[in-house]
Structure 1
Amino acid sequence: MHFKLLFLLAGSVFVLHGCGSSSTSDATTPTAITQSALTGSYINPVVFEGNPYPQIPAQCYTETSLGRQNACLFCHTNGLYKLGLGNNNPQAGEVPLVNFQLDYGYEPYSAQAPTAAKNYWLNTLAPETLLAAVSAMDIDPNTWVMPDYIQEDNWQSAYNQRQGKSTDWDSGYNQPFRLLPGLNPAALPADSDGFIRSDNEKDIYFSDAFGGNTGWRAINFMPYGIFSPMTGSVSGIYIRLPAKFMQDHSGEFNLATYTQNLELLRDAIQNRLTDTSPRFYYGSAADIEVVAGSYPQGTELAHPLHYVDTLADGTDGKLPGMRATRVKEVRYMYKDEDFNPMEARPDEGTGDQIYGNDEQGWVDNGSGWLLAGYIEDKDGALRPQTRAELTQCIGCHSGFHPGTKDPNFTSGTGNTVDSTWSFPRSFDSDLGWKEMDYLGVRIVDGSAVSTTPEPINRHAGIGEFALLLNHTVSANLYGVMAQSVETQLSQIIDTNNGYSANWTEIKTDSAANFEQSVTQRQTLLREFVTRKDYLNADGTIKGFLLYPQENDAIENARRYRQVVATQRYIYGKDVFAETPISYYHYRDDAIAEVKNDGSPYQFGEIISERSIQLDEPTRFDYKAGDGITLIEENKPFAEGGTYLPDYVPYLQ
């Protein structure tokens, strides 16, 4: 096996282009709030205390149920790279990279650096350590009134501290919320056409026939295993283009022109351009070429990440899609460089320094974008994220750069288009221009139901959720399933209903029984898909697969608040009631995983670190991960195979 850089592919120290910004290694922040150039400093992630590899997500350390669970395919894919569209980071075996569906190929920064094959996500791996940290603070999480907590507003007060005009991507003021997106939460939700309008003159670009247009437009997209309400968070996603995209040829603001440009951009990002598509944008942006898989310079994306409110469905004019008022984070991306990812190829333009500003909560992703993030402090108010926390974002939202910048830390996955995840998966119709609503969630007789039919994956030719069920044994990316889902499946998947066997629990008393039970669950889930029992008669996904029960959502929020109280974000934001089953060693001795030092795991032991190559110190992959996932490259789907190297996230 050959190994090359994993997520970490370090990367780029540089000057910010075309934005009135410059870089410097001096990150001093004056106490006075004054206008200034956007500046940061460099830091090597090897110095991050507690978790030197935050760009490698906690999911990447899980077992695969002996290959029956391949959640890896949704990130580690070659599909977009082979299409030549917005991604230069293939991760399923394209030269020169390792195949992360088959191998645990964690690559350390150097032979002297801490191992990357250790699971540093203690909050997820060992939730009892988090509870111990909370208890040490003399806090009892059971006393928290979580239904009240999630309805408190912490975004508006942060927004009110942002200086300057909301229409400026960079407020220009040297203060903590400098790059908080200029999206006033008081203006939400979006109007029926997706545009966000406001009566506040500070927030608007122009007035259209419907009111003061802020330039922001809501995006509605198809979630999967990491972004459904079952995981404890719900999102709003918003996009804004520079002012010239809102103007007609005479320089006048024009809603129709702006709408055309947003539609054209969606075609470019979703690979829907045809021979008759315009080669340039409309109006005053007619000098900007339309590039497939690439956003124009100056594009902004805002992403508030909310707690889950199982009673909210948007019918009362408030926030839709199970969104609580309180946000866990407000995330932001700004494309500061005119860069098409397909101008680079794998392994180009890497370095080991992260450029950013901890006091203002932003980093450069090394691939043309600035990423900013604001997260709850111990009291629940928003604060800027540190680089150790923001490197988690670089882990997914990044890629390679050919070297037009100084080498900067880069990372990324194979499933993003120009470092973005949501817009490529948005619906290609008016349905895609509205508040994110998680397939049209509504509360009917006290239960959450979906009203938007399951979208079809354009390349796989099957339902997007069906594809997830066919390649996992858990319906999420951690290999676990909520008890409420287990209960429902046990009622549906039964021999009395025509199934080949009854739904079974995963057995962990022996390696043979573990293999038998996960194999049977895979078979039964695939029968579940073939029979379309995961769907309602109208083609919508059954609500119990997407939406948590009220008590489950509250308890999930209670566990997450332990992270907030302790500020242990560097140890993970996903907290389960107990260690997920996918972190345990249930392999037969013949295929046992081993620890860093080569000693084998015992059956039932928690896997806290994985095998690394120690045989040849002179090899390029010395101390790199060399364990195998047990996903079999040549095993046919019909025989239980799950390997899928060319997944593409596009929907019909």
Structure 2
Amino acid sequence: MLRISILALLGSATMAGAVDLKTTILGNPTAYIPSQCYTKTQDEVGNAHNPCQTCHTYPRSPNYVRDADLQTEYAFPAPALENPWTNLFVDRRAQIAATESAEIRAYVRQDNYHDAQGDIALAAKLAVPPAAWDVDGNGAWDGYTPDVQFSLDDEGFDRRPNGALTGWRAFAYQPLPGTFWPTNGSTDDVLIRLPKAFRERVDGTPDLTIYKTNFAIIEALITREDVAIAPTDESAMGVDLDRDGVMGTASLVKFAFAPLDGITMHYAGRAGAEGAKLAAGLYPKGTEFVHTVRYIDPTPAGIAMAARLKELRYMRKKDWITYAALEETALAELKEDSAFPDRTKQFFGNSETGIPNAFGWRLQGFIEDVSGDLRPQSFEETVFCIGCHGTLGTNDDSTFAFARKLGNGAFRDGWYHWSQKSLVGTPDLIRADGTGDYAHYLTSNAAGDEFRANAEVIEAWLKNGELPPVRAAALRDNIGALILPSPERADALNAAYRLIVREQSFVKGRDATIAPVESTVWRKVEQDQPTGIQKPQQPWFERR
């Protein structure tokens, strides 16, 4: 009987692991609507709380997706009214309790990105892709091949074993409130890479100072603020960085962008000489981001990023789109949503080359297979990613993290990886109205996650739904105390997610919930059902 049971389990796992990477037919036509959107915003006594503000808000141009109204109503198309994210309602407590702490910690500390020789295991596999991964059948992998070494120097630059730069650079940021707090399931990091022209002198010679200067220029463009830099020879850069009218030594990149008045900025080196297109709030064409989502490692020194990746997410800006075209796209989507409220969004692409969004970016990703190795995401699993990196009011050029990068005065001015310094001691982001971003989230949401189900945060930080002033003050200089889980919760979250991996049931939701969230999440909503939130909250970058 025992042998039959084991074989049955293995057979079940094999069937669960058979993910079709070639189909572009969606089992869930609204896979782009995240599970968090089904949260019950009103508590048992009718008080309304607002987890929606993190994503749906008043944008800043050139993001013209004004979706703050989604804080006040569940404006879903008809196919989305029944919650498709059924993994939210699975009770995993017994299986988690049966998981040994030492065993799950050993699992998350296994590196599934590098092989035994330190090479990138997935890159080696993609060199001759399995037939099941080769969508067009040409014998080659036509999408992104992972090339981040995760060997970072003291300026955040990623380097190959021979010391050469890969072009990738890590940066630190205040994670977006909710899902990306480690206490809610995962640790993560983000790296950025600019095209070769941004790393070179006019004659094509690689130049690290030019590369760092261009990063500072982009930081100024995305944050819309001046950025301090090490004293830099402007003549060598080919641009008056501080805009003082003299090609001397600059210690500042001055933000200035009013093209109708003839005021603009320029990139350094070859990119500037070749006239690379530039605009406030936009990255240059060819910009790449890598985002790893990882397990949580409760080490003796504290909560850390685990070696094991849950996901490797990648996006590249394929096209430069003007302000006018971005606004036209946003208005066209608004018009279609109004005229055809039950029409679902359509997506093109595949699991190999990725899926484009409406704003010039192409996204693809890799996720754990049933054995814990990384595999390409399916088409539907990638559509899930487009939901956030697309028509969303909170985005800056379809991204989240870089606008929230730690700046001047932070450790290494924010150019570091979380493996080099943990989240402990990271200050709260100060909103335009002077309040702390995380303190504001706790106050307006009366919870520490979108599902409003993280009891550990609620019990430790809130009193009768309110954030005591002493707790708010503590966040100003250290968000780590809030957003890092206890070792026991970390183990439970890791075990919960691994159960989803073994089922390969990501299309039913990839949230590491421990117990069913029935009391705080809807199984079904009515179209345009009010949330109970009367007045949309302003975004962190907007003054009241």
- TM norm structure 1: 0.65
What's the counterpart of residue 401 of structure 1?
Answer: none
Contact 1:336 1:368 in 2 (8 A): yes
| Alpha-carbon spacing, 1:289–1:366, altered in 2? closer, same or farther (3 Å) | closer
Question: How far off is 1:279 after superposition?
Answer: 2.0
Q: State the Cα distance separating 1:468 from its structure 2 match.
A: 1.0
- 1:618-650 alpha-carbon deviations (Å, 9 max, x no partner): xxxxxxx120000112xxxxxxxxx31x31458
* 2:127 counterpart SS class: coil
Cα displacement (A) at 1:76: 0.7
Structure 1 position 472, deviation (Å): 0.8
**Alpha-carbon offset, residue 241 of structure 1:** 0.6
The 2-side partners of 1:241 and 1:379 are apart by: 34
Displacement, 1:343?
A: 2.7
Q: Give CA-to-partner distance per residue, 1:502-553, whole Å, 9 cap, x none.
A: x34xxxxxxxxxxxxxxxx2xx32xx1xx242344x9423644211111210
- Cα deviation for residue 577 of structure 1 reads 2.2
Instruction: Give the Cα separation in 1 of the matches to 2:141 and 2:372.
Output: 16
Do the aligned partners of residues 566 and 342 (structure 1) sit closer, same or farther apart at CA in structure 2, a change above 3 Å counting? Answer: farther
Distance 2:220 2:167 in 1: 19
SS in 2 for 1:310: strand
Count of equivalent residues: 456
| 262, 278, 301: which one aligns with 1:290 | 278
Q: 1:566 to 1:542 in 2, by over 3 A?
A: same
Deviation readout 1:387-415 (Å, 9 max, x if unpaired) = 111111100101xxxxxxxxxxxxx3110
Within the alignment, does 1:101 sit opposite 2:74 as a pair?
Answer: no
**Alpha-carbon distance change, 568 to 393 in structure 1, aligned in 2, over 3 angstroms:** same
Summarize deviations over 1:46-90 as a string: whole Å, max 9, x none.
x422x321111111111112453101111111132xxx23x1211
**Aligned with 1:354 (options 334, 340, 347):** 347
Aligned to 1:89, which of 65, 73, 87? 65
Question: Cα distance 1:158–1:239, how it changes in 2: closer, same or farther (>3 A)?
Answer: same
Instruction: Give the structure 1 partner of residue 238 of structure 2.
Output: none
Contact 1:378/1:566 (<8 A) preserved = yes
Instruction: State yes or no: 1:116 paired with 2:90.
Output: no
Q: Which residue of 2 aligns with 1:427?
A: 406
Residues in 2 aligned to 1:214 and 1:415: alpha-carbon distance in whole angstroms: 30
Q: Distance in 2 between matches of 1:572 and 1:361?
A: 23
Q: Are 2:440 and 1:462 equivalent residues in the alignment? A: no
The answer to whether the 8 Å contact 2:93/2:515 transfers is no
TM-aligned CA distance change 1:561 to 1:341, over 3 Å: farther
- Name whichever structure is richer in helix by fraction: 2
Pair 1:610-2:502 in alignment: no
Match of 1:271 among 208, 224, 228: 224
How far did 1:42 drift?
9.3
Higher RCO (CA < 8 A, seq sep 6+) = 2
1:578 maps to 515
1:6-50, Cα deviation, whole Å (9 max, x unpaired): xxxxxxxxxxxxxxxxxxxxxxxxxxxxxxxxxx9994xxx422x
Quickly say closer, same or farther: Cα 1:434–1:354, change in 2 above 3 A: same
> Identity percentage over the alignment?
29
1:330: which partner in 2? 312
CA-CA distance at 1:562 after TM superposition: 0.9
CA shift at 1:257, angstroms?
0.6
Kindly indicate whether residue 371 of structure 2 is the aligned counterpart of residue 383 of structure 1.
no
For 2:455, which of 482, 494, 509 is the aligned residue?
482
Structure 1 position 182 matched with structure 2 position 97: no
Question: Does the 8 Å contact 2:452/2:520 carry over to 1?
Answer: no
Q: How does 1:581-592 map to 2 (within 5 A)?
A: 582-583=519-520
**One of 278, 281, 294 as aligned partner of 2:267:** 281
Distance 2:301 2:362 in 1: 33
Q: Does 1:77 align with 2:57?
A: yes
- Label 1:626 to 1:325 Cα distance change in 2 as closer, same or farther (>3 A): same
Give the letter for the 1:193 counterpart. Answer: E
CA distance in 1 between counterparts of 2:293 and 2:276 reads 32
The answer to whether the Cα contact below 8 Å between 2:184 and 2:454 also exists between their aligned partners in 1 is: no
- Shift, 1:580, TM fit: 2.2
**Following the alignment from structure 1 to structure 2, what is the Cα–Cα distance between the partners of residues 486 and 647?**
23
Alignment equivalent of 2:184, drawn from 231, 246, 250: 231
Confirm whether residue 546 of structure 1 aligns to residue 483 of structure 2.
yes
- Tell me how far 1:355 sits from its aligned partner: 1.7
Matched AA of 2:367:
I
Correspondence for 2:154 among 189, 192, 195: 192
Question: Tell me, what secondary structure is at the counterpart of 1:555?
Answer: helix
What is the RMSD computed on CA atoms of the aligned residues?
3.1
Distance 1:542 1:353, change over 3 A: closer
- Distance 1:352-1:53 versus aligned 2 partners, 3 A rule: closer
**2:240 match:** none
**Alignment partners' CA distance in 1, 2:111 and 2:449:** 29
Aligned-pair distance for 1:182? Answer: 2.1
Instruction: Evaluate the alpha carbon distance shift between residue 478 and residue 307 of structure 1 in structure 2; reply closer, same or farther with a 3 A threshold.
Output: same
For residues 472 and 36 of structure 2, what CA distance do their matches in structure 1 show? 25
- Write out per-residue CA displacement over residues 431-475 of structure 1, whole angstroms, 9 at most, x where no aligned residue: 32111369x537xxxxxxx22332312x23211211212211112
> Aligned with 1:304: secondary structure?
strand
Separation in structure 1 between the aligned mates of residue 396 and residue 418 of structure 2, nearest angstrom: 19
Deviation at 1:488, TM superposition (A): 3.1
Segments of structure 2 that go 5 or more residues without pairing to the other structure are 1-20, 115-120, 129-137, 226-254, 337-343
* Alignment of 1:253 onto 2:218: no
Q: Summarize deviations over 1:147-187 as a string: whole Å, max 9, x none.
A: 111011111221333439xxxxxxxx8545841332124xx
Closer, same or farther in 2 for the Cα pair 1:465/1:270, shift >3 Å? same
**CA distance 1:147–1:222, shift in 2 (3 Å):** same
User: TM-score, with normalisation over the residues of structure 2?
Assistant: 0.77
Taking the aligned partners of 1:462 and 1:578, their CA distance within structure 2 comes to 33
Q: Which residue of 1 aligns with 2:164?
A: 212
Contact preservation (8 Å) 1:361, 1:387: no
Pairing of 1:622-637 with structure 2 (within 5 A): 625-633=527-535
Change (3 A) 1:220 1:543: closer
Secondary structure at 1:344's aligned position in 2?
A: helix
Which whole-Å deviations, capped at 9, do the CAs of 1:243-286 have from their partners, x for residues lacking one? 01001122211011111111101111112222698622111001
